[in-house]
Amino acid sequence: MAVAKTERFSFDFGISRILAAAAISASLAGCAGFIPLDAPDAVATHTNAALVTEPSAPLAYALMPVNPSILQATNAFTDSSGMVFSRLPGGNYRDVTIGIGDIVTVTVYEAQAGGLFIPREAGVRPGNFVDIPRQQVDQSGNINIPYAGSIKVAGLTPRAVSNIIRERLKDRAIDPQAVVSVAEQRGNQISVLGEVNSPLRFPVDPGGIRLMGAVARAGGPKYPSYESTITIKREGRTYSESMSSVVHHPDQDVLLAPGDVVFLTRIPRVYMAFGSTPSPGSIGGTNNRRFTFENDNMSLAEAIAKAGGLDGNRADSKSIYVYRFEPKPLLERIGVDVSQFPTKTVPAVYKFDMSKPDGWFQADTFRMRDHDVISVAESPSTEFVKLMNPLNAASVNADNISSVVVNSK
C-alpha cells in the first residue's frame, strides 16, 4: 500500500513538473503558434523568399556628443538653410518691358505743320500731334506704325520703342518725337496662387514689386509662416523656400520678374520621436510618434516636451539622440573627418546628456529641423526588467499549477 502511494505521488509530481515547464515555455515564447498574426513574421518572410541577397554593410555615420562649438555651428546652419531666392536669376529690373498681349498706345509729335502727320493748313486741327490707334502686341512681339512699318517691341521699354519710331520717321516727318505707353498689361503679369486668401493676377508695377508685397496683394497666406512654403516659377524653372526664411532674411524678399508665378503651399514641418517616451496616445490623445512644429524655431526641449517628455521608468537621460543628414562643409567646420563619406551629406547623430543641467540648456538651444528623428535610449536596467517580467510570470503560473495539482490529490 505504501508503494502504491509513493508511485502515485511520483506520478503526480512528474505531471506537475511537466505542466510547470509547459507554463514557462508558453510564457517565454508568447504562445507562438496559438496567437493569430496580422502579418507574416520574420521566419515566414525569410523562408518563402525566392532570393535572399547578402546583407549590406552597416551605414557609416558620425556620432557627436554636443558641446558649445557643435551647438553654435549646427544652429547657424539651421538659421541660414535654404536661401534659395537670394540666388534667383533676373528680377533686378527698373523699367517694365512690353510683353506679348499688351495694349500699346503711340502718339507722334511734329515740330510744325506741313509735315508727315500735321497738315499745312492752319486751323484744320488743334495741336501738333497724332494719336495712333491702340494696338495689341502680336505673338511675334510686333506692332505697326504708319510710315515706320512693323516694329518689334516685346522685351523693350516704352522709351526704347519711342527712340526706334523717331529714328524711322526722322527723314519723313519734321523733327518727330514719339511717346509710347502701355495702356493695359496683359503679358507682363504676376500670378499669386495656392494657399492665399485672394488668389490674383496683376501687372507689374513700373518700379517692380517684391515677393512679400505680391503675397500681401493676394490677401496674405492662409496658414502660419512656419507651415507655408513659397514656390516661384520663373523661365521654366521652380525655386522653393519656406516662408519663415523669407520673413527672417530680408535678402530672400526678392524682386519679382514679369511672368513669375508665385505659389503658396501648406507643408507643415514635422519630427519623429521614438524610444523611451510615453506610449502613443497616453499624452493628449496623440496616437502617433509624428509631431508638427508649433513655431518658427522649435528647440529639442520643446520637441521632447510635446512628445510627452522622458519615460521615468525606462529612459536613459544620458543618451538622447537626434538623427539627421548634414552637409560635409558643416561637419568639417566642427572638426569631423568626413573623408570616408562619398556623398555630399553625412548621416549625423547628435548626443545629449540630459542627466546634467548643461544638457538641458543645450537641448533648449538646439534648433530642430524638418524631419529630424529623436531617439531616447532605454536605461540598461530596463532590459533586465524586461527579462525578469516573463520569468516572474512563468514562476507564478508554475506555482499556481503545482498548487492545483497538489490540492486535487
What number of helices (H) and strands (E) belong to the chain?
A: 10, 16
Count CB atoms within 10 A of the CB of residue 174.
Answer: 17
Residue 162 has pLDDT above 60, yes or no: yes
**What is the band of 138 on the pLDDT scale with cuts at 50, 70, 90?**
very high
Cα(204)–Cα(202) distance, integer angstroms? 7
Mean pLDDT over the full length of the chain: 83
Nearest to 251 by CA among 278, 295, 211: 211
Is pLDDT at 20 greater than 70 in this prediction? no
For 189-219, b/e burial (b = at least 16 CB within 10 A) is bbbbbbbbeeeeeebbeeebbbbbebbeebe
Amino acid at 295: N
Q: For residue 26, is it within any domain?
A: no
Region 305-310 average pLDDT: 90
- Does residue 239 fall inside a structural domain? yes
Last residue of a domain, one of 236, 266, 296: 266
On whether residue 96 sits in a domain, the answer given is no
pLDDT 10s digits, 145-160: 999 999 999 989 899 9
Residue 236 lies in a domain: yes
| Whether residue 206 is found in the same domain as residue 223 | yes
Same-domain check for residues 321 and 364? yes
Strands 261-266 and 290-292: unpaired
Q: Is the pLDDT assigned to residue 359 strictly greater than 60?
A: yes
227 and 306 both lie in a single domain: no
Q: 202 with 111, same domain?
A: no
Kindly indicate the confidence band of residue 208, based on its pLDDT and cuts at 50, 70 and 90: confident
In a domain, 286, yes or no: yes
Domain at 286, CATH number? 3.10.560.10
pLDDT at 6: 46
CATH code, 108: 3.30.1950.10
Per-residue confidence (pLDDT) for residue 13, from 0 to 100: 44
Q: 112 and 151 share a domain?
A: yes
Asked whether residue 17 is domain-assigned, the answer is: no
What is the structure's pLDDT at 11?
Answer: 44
Same-domain check for residues 70 and 108: no
The verdict on residue 47 lying in a domain is: no
Residues 176 and 214 reside in one and the same domain: no
Of 3-17, 117-131, 246-260, 282-296, least confident by mean pLDDT is 3-17
Q: Which of residues 165, 184, 203 is at a domain's end?
A: 184
User: Pairing between strand 372-378 and 315-327?
Assistant: antiparallel
Number of domains present in the structure of the chain: 3
Which residue segment(s) compose the domain that 305 sits in? 62-77+270-383
Residue 408 lies in a domain: no
Identify the pLDDT of residue 354: 92
Residue 120 has pLDDT above 80, yes or no: no
Checking if the pLDDT of 349 tops 60, the result is yes
Residue 107 has pLDDT above 50, yes or no: yes
Last residue of some domain: 130, 150, 184? 184
**Per-residue confidence (pLDDT) for residue 172, from 0 to 100:** 86
Question: Residue 1: what pLDDT?
Answer: 46
Query: Looking at per-residue confidence, does 392 or 89 come out higher?
Result: 89
Looking at the fold, whether 252 and 240 belong to one and the same domain comes out as: yes
Amino acid 368: pLDDT: 95
Whether the per-residue pLDDT at 64 is higher than 50: the answer is: yes
Is the same domain home to 256 and 282? no
The per-residue pLDDT for range 255-266, each reduced to its tens digit, is 898 889 999 999
CA–CA gap between residue 295 and residue 248 (Å, rounded): 13
Residue 34 pLDDT > 60: no
pLDDT at 5 over 90: no
Q: Is 313 exposed, middle or buried (0-12, 13-18, 19+ CB in 10 A)?
A: exposed
